Amino acid sequence: MPLTASNSLPDPPAAAFDALVGGGVARRELDRGGRFLRWLEAGSAAPAVVFETGIGSPSTTWAVVFAALAPDHRVLAYDRAGYGASDPAAVSLDGQLADLIAVAESAGPEPCVLVGHSWGGLLVQLAAWRRPDLVAGLVLVDPSHESLWLRPPEPAAVREWARYSDPAAPPRADPRSADVSSSAEELDREVARGASDDPAVRALLLDAGRWYLATDEQLRMHLDEFPMVLHHLDELADRRRTAVWPKVPVVTLTATKGRPPLYVPPVLAAQEQLAAVAGGRHVVVPDSGHHIHVDRPDLVIRSIRDVC
- Is the peptide bond between 111 and the residue preceding it cis, with omega within 30 degrees of 0? no
Q: Give the DSSP letter of residue 286.
A: T
The residue that leads in pLDDT, 148 or 237, is 237
Contacts of 156 (CB under 8 A, 6+ apart): none
- Across-strand partners of 77? 40, 51
How far apart are the C-alpha atoms of 213 and 179, rounded to whole Å?
12
Residue 153 — very low, low, confident or very high, per pLDDT cuts 50/70/90?
low
Residue 6 — very low, low, confident or very high, per pLDDT cuts 50/70/90?
very low
Q: Amino acid identity, residue 103?
A: V
SS3 track for 7-70? CCCCCHHHHHHHHHHCCCCEEEEEECCCCEEEEEEECCCCCCEEEECCCCCCHHHHHHHHHHHC
Cβ–Cβ under 8 Å, residues 165 and 172: no
How far apart are the C-alpha atoms of 51 and 59, rounded to whole Å?
8
How far apart are the C-alpha atoms of 8 and 72, rounded to whole Å?
28
CATH topology of domain 3-307: Rossmann fold (3.40.50)
Q: Phi and psi at residue 285, in whole multiples of 5°?
A: -120, 90
Q: pLDDT at position 1, please?
A: 42
Q: pLDDT at position 157, please?
A: 62
Domain ranges of the chain: 3-307
Query: Once rounded to an integer, what is the mean pLDDT over residues 20-28?
Result: 95
66-122: pLDDT as tens digits: 999 999 999 999 999 999 999 999 999 999 999 999 999 999 899 999 999 999 999
Contacts of 179 (CB under 8 A, 6+ apart): none
251-307: pLDDT as tens digits: 999 999 999 888 899 999 999 999 999 999 999 999 999 999 999 999 999 999 999
217: helix, coil or strand? helix
Alpha-carbon Rg for the chain in angstroms: 18
Contacts of 288 (CB under 8 A, 6+ apart): 255, 257, 295, 296, 299
Q: pLDDT at position 161, please?
A: 77
Query: Once rounded to an integer, what is the mean pLDDT over residues 209-238?
Result: 93
In the chain, % of residues over pLDDT 90: 89
**Nearest residue to 112 (alpha-carbon basis) of 142, 69, 81, 82:** 69
**Nearest residue to 45 (alpha-carbon basis) of 94, 113, 130:** 113
How far apart are the C-alpha atoms of 206 and 261, rounded to whole Å?
32
Cβ–Cβ under 8 Å, residues 216 and 171: yes
